[in-house]
Structure 1
Amino acid sequence: MRHSTFRQLEVFEAIARLNSFTRAAEELFLTQPTVSMQIKKLTDDIGLPLFEQIGKKIYLTDAGKELYETCQSIFEHFSRFEMIVSDMKGLKSGKLRLAVVTTAKYFTPRLLGMFCQNYPGIDVALKVTNRERVLERLTNNQDDLYILGQVPEGIDAVAEVFLDNPLVVLAAADHPLVNHKNISIDRICDEPFIMREPGSGTRMATERFFSEHNKKLKVRIELGSNEAIKQALVGHLGIAVLSSHTLALDAPMGQLAVLDVEGFPIERHWYFAYPSGKQLSIVAQTFLDYLRQAHHSLEDLSCRHAITGHYPLVINGSGIKSSG
């Protein structure tokens, strides 16, 4: 191992993380033959195979798994050292790796924009995926921080609220219930519902709400994205419960309305999380401090002012406004 280079370890880590020689070469801006040569040299130096190929997939051997954990520790310590040195120089630089659930994409870029204005030396890698995948990444400690719509269960993690996430009932702007006030839960349950896929945090919160009222929803269709659900609403396929954040930027112009339903909005929150015992990098800790101190700016992102006490709401190209 003494003859192994830092570059060889970088190549190995990228392959192990991406499960692909090709994708690792693309990420590192190397040719695939160069990547293969670096791994051959590393394998020869260690004296044990690091990968095994079964069909078209590659897998880490036991030695590979041990080396991957070692690489993660080395890179994390080295990255922390670089950030400590920058901090000593009065600078804030480094890389922040975030993984967020799909609904969080409606406010996270704006949040990061404000943060990066304060710390222009920090680069951000943002992974947007479904809740199941975010929890998997959290379990495997693949990122610095994670943003979810509810506390991760069954995982040893630290979680803290940083933003409201109210859920509202949406329908097409010309739906018969749009002008009704305080619609009963019984009445809303007569409508066909468009739901996110099983495992979605929004779906779990919706089902929990109606279950607590001993009601069962008429689910007409399940869709895997908020955008698809909004298009289905416009197509008069039913009504849906979504986060108010999904309305902030890209709602179809003048085609959606928030219904005034008893018990809504459902009060939920956004959480940041990270594995218990994880030593946060200086950049990650700086971002957390920013979230905690920027409470008032963050509240503007929740659209809470737009959905409380003003029904029905019609979505137009410039945001949310009352139709009354």
Structure 2
Amino acid sequence: MIERYLTFRLLRVYITLVQTGSISETARQLHLTQPTVSIQLKKLQETVGHRLYSFQQQRFVLTEAGNALYLSCQKIFACLDEFTSQLDDIDAGQSGHLKIAMVNTAQYILPKLIGPFQIRFPGIEITLEIGNREQVLQRFEQGLDDLYVFSHPPSLEHAIAEPFLVNPLVMVANSAHPLAHNERIDVRELLENRFLLREQGSATRMMFDSFLQNQGATPSHMQQLSSNEAIKVGISAGMGIGMLSQHVLDLHNSNLTVLPVDGLPLVNHWYFIARNDRYMPKTALKFLSFCQTSVEQVLGEPWQGELEGLIVRHFEHI
């Protein structure tokens, strides 16, 4: 039987290879030589009896059997991590590890929840990964994290999503802008301004493009910037106007103002995303439960989704 010959060492080498896509990087991370890694992988493929992967034009590609083994490895090591966490809980109180990846804009929201959570559960170590939408989607595809935070959930096969907070998108200008004190503004009055925008594919950019398209409006000048902070600085300096999440603004300590544009704010939401083919650790469940009971107290706005629905949908697939 195959399980008689599989070892955790072989599976650890394999799962590291899948996550890195490189034999040399696998060797470096596991403190092994490259020949040793190659021998271990050859032994694993012989044991399984199927080709698990290939390198096509220097790109690492899993076979169907290789992907099935990787999913099994994820569950095996997640169960072991959970067991270790349970032992730690018995010995020293609640502890464990939680990995969260979030899009850039969420850094204005999530730390406000993580701070009180870590005060309450100091034994839980949280690793945060922050990137643009494409980078976080790549992490989701690789299953590198326990939870993901998007403002526009991905329509992917293994994604289950639940909203937790309203995310209003507003048009922002320098407070000295000629239209800053108007009671209402038609979007066509803004079209001669330079719009400072996030990159194509970001949730805010998609919402902005959709809004203008629905209004039948085409801006004359657009400039792409790499982050919300860059856009805020640009607006503050009079470079142009831009659409931003209301959560990134500090109107009391800046020269920014929200323009009262017809049709705005756009109602969007923040979402917690999980994979339905990955084991959700107890630390993730604890964090979601904490957020559900604390969002309104910490952020002043009510929880939007149904946490029980997210958890049930997750475990239905595990």
TM-score (norm 1): 0.77
1:262-309 superposed Cα distances (whole Å, 9 cap, x missing partner): 33332221111213465422111111111111122342489xxxxxxx
Give, in whole Å, the separation in 2 of the partners of 1:26 and 1:256.
48
Letter of the structure 1 residue corresponding to residue 238 of structure 2: H
Give, in whole Å, the separation in 2 of the partners of 1:96 and 1:42.
29
Contact 2:112 2:299 in 1 (8 A): no
Give, in whole Å, the separation in 1 of the partners of 2:114 and 2:23.
31
Give, in whole Å, the separation in 2 of the partners of 1:290 and 1:102.
22
Note the 1:287-298 alignment, pairs <5 A.
287-298=287-298
| Aligned residue in 1 for 2:39 | 40
| Aligned residue in 2 for 1:152 | 154
| Deviation of 1:120 (Å) | 1.5
Structure 2 residue matching 1:163: 3-state secondary structure = strand
C-alpha change, 1:182 and 1:23, in structure 2 (3 Å) is farther
Residue 178 of structure 2 is aligned to residue 179 of structure 1? no
Structure 2 residue matching 1:41: 3-state secondary structure = helix
Contact 2:78 2:279 in 1 (8 A): no
| Aligned residue in 2 for 1:230 | 232
Note the 1:103-182 alignment, pairs <5 A.
103-182=105-184
Q: Which runs of 5+ in 1 are unaligned?
A: 303-324
Letter of the structure 1 residue corresponding to residue 8 of structure 2: F
| Deviation of 1:140 (Å) | 4.5
Structure 2 residue matching 1:182: 3-state secondary structure = coil
Letter of the structure 2 residue corresponding to residue 176 of structure 1: P
1:176-216 superposed Cα distances (whole Å, 9 cap, x missing partner): 23333322323223422122222111112222333333333
1:217 to 192, 213, 219: 219
C-alpha change, 1:62 and 1:228, in structure 2 (3 Å) is same
Give, in whole Å, the separation in 2 of the partners of 1:182 and 1:97.
44
| Aligned residue in 1 for 2:71 | 69
Letter of the structure 2 residue corresponding to residue 288 of structure 1: L
Letter of the structure 1 residue corresponding to residue 79 of structure 2: H
Contact 2:194 2:240 in 1 (8 A): yes
| Deviation of 1:104 (Å) | 0.8
Contact 1:100 1:128 in 2 (8 A): yes
Percent identity reads: 33
1:211-253 superposed Cα distances (whole Å, 9 cap, x missing partner): 33333333421233223323332443321001122235xx9x7
- More displaced stretch, 10-19 vs 130-139: 130-139
RMSD: 3.2
Contact 1:195 1:219 in 2 (8 A): no
TM-score (norm 2): 0.78
Q: Which runs of 5+ in 2 are unaligned?
A: 303-318
Give, in whole Å, the separation in 2 of the partners of 1:204 and 1:67.
36
| Deviation of 1:14 (Å) | 1.9
| Deviation of 1:105 (Å) | 1.8
C-alpha change, 1:162 and 1:27, in structure 2 (3 Å) is farther
| Aligned residue in 1 for 2:310 | none
- More displaced stretch, 266-275 vs 54-63: 54-63
Give, in whole Å, the separation in 2 of the partners of 1:50 and 1:153.
28
Size of the alignment, in residue pairs?
296
Structure 1 residue matching 2:99: 3-state secondary structure = strand
| Deviation of 1:155 (Å) | 3.6
| Aligned residue in 2 for 1:307 | none
Give, in whole Å, the separation in 1 of the partners of 2:265 and 2:233.
21
Contact 1:8 1:38 in 2 (8 A): no
